[in-house]
Amino acid sequence: MSAAVPAEADERLVRQSWLRHMMGRPELGAVVGAAAVFLFFSFVAESFLQASSLSTVLYASSTIGIMAVPVALLMIGGEFDLSTGVMVTSSALVSSMFSYQMTANVWVGVGVSLLVTLAIGFFNGFMLTRTKLPSFIITLGTFLMLTGLNLGFTKLISGTVSTKSIGDMEGFDSARALFASHLTIGGVDLQVTILWWFGLVALATWVLLRTRVGNWIFAVGGGSDAARAVGVPVNKTKIGLYMGVAFCAWISGQHLLMSYDVVQSGEGVGNEFLYIIAAVIGGCLMTGGYGSAIGSAVGAFIFGMTSKGIVYAQWNPDWFKFFLGAMLLLATLLNAWVRKRAEATK
């Protein structure tokens, strides 16, 4: 009897060098870019390294990062959402107007807003899976509808384009403590949104790398038909991703409301591109199936450093969009190179 041929080793169990492992990480380009941006502004802006300045940078990063996390997961799943910016505003408007008009505890408005926002996310996912239309078209339609609803309902109910003050209503102080309070850690004043951001990044990373759902997300982004053929619940996964985006939009919307007490109905337009840019800079591919939550956090951090670093360097802030566009192009090219390197080492 001939000798048995040893089975080929599972490539997942093959040991890799630390350098090769790092070269395959999707957030590598973003980390290199973040280090370069940090060093650059450390030299050109004297106040950049002050504790108060870094706190401001982290806060600016968190306002983008909270939404960049679910947007990154959605992009890994192969889809887009152009309604995210106005969805944040919708969430804040529902909380404010419901609480004010019903003279209810602010937490009642917050709860209703959560249900409404999740329903918007479900609508996006449901329409996508039922109609088979591109997510660009579905969410562009939602973007336009929400933009009109935000303005129309606000003017109909309050008579103006902004909501009424709810700062003196019952439950406002406790809601502000959860969504918009300041914390002192190590003598540094930080916004609670930074903790929300870090928590969401940790949760999303665990889901992607340690759970079956994470495998489903990568599989769906790599190819829906192939994923469905091996038993992945494609429709449920995509609907879940859109509802995850909606949940984070609710968090961001409550922060917006609790920080300023009133909300302008036209806010949020254009922010959807910032969330996508942060995810792309962080290593997500436009074609899906590749990326990480940590990368989206690094992308958001680059955004925060650039937006505030220009101010600390006393430059004209009109240059910010130029730097953002340049970073997007450079990050996309670098991410494509990293992906090719990763595939070549397999």
Whichever domain contains 117, its CATH number is 1.10.3470
Q: Tokens 């449920």: give the residue.
A: 236
177-199 burial string, b = 16+ CB within 10 Å, else e?
eebbbeeeeeeeebbbbbebbee
Number of domains in the chain: 1
Angle at 336 between CA 331 and CA 340, to 5 degrees: 145
| Closest among 346, 343, 339, 224 to 292, alpha carbons compared | 339
Q: Is residue 77 in some structural domain?
A: yes
Q: Is residue 23 in some structural domain?
A: no
Per-residue pLDDT of the chain (346 residues; tens, 9 = 90+): 444 444 444 343 445 555 565 666 777 778 888 888 899 899 998 899 998 899 999 999 999 999 999 999 999 999 999 999 999 999 999 999 999 988 789 999 999 999 999 999 999 999 999 999 999 999 999 999 999 999 999 999 888 999 999 989 999 999 999 999 988 877 778 999 999 999 999 999 999 999 999 999 999 999 999 999 999 999 999 999 999 999 999 999 999 999 999 999 999 999 999 999 999 888 888 888 888 999 999 999 999 998 899 889 888 877 778 877 887 787 777 766 766 766 665 5
If you ran DSSP here, which 8-state letter would residue 289 be given?
Answer: S
Q: Is residue 292 in some structural domain?
A: yes
Q: Is residue 308 in some structural domain?
A: yes
Q: Please say whether the beta carbons of 187 and 51 come within 8 A.
A: yes
Q: The whole model's pTM is what?
A: 0.89
Q: Tokens 């799943």: give the residue.
A: 77
| DSSP sequence for 193-213 | HHHHHHHHHHHHHHHHHHSHH
- Structural domain span for residue 86: 50-334
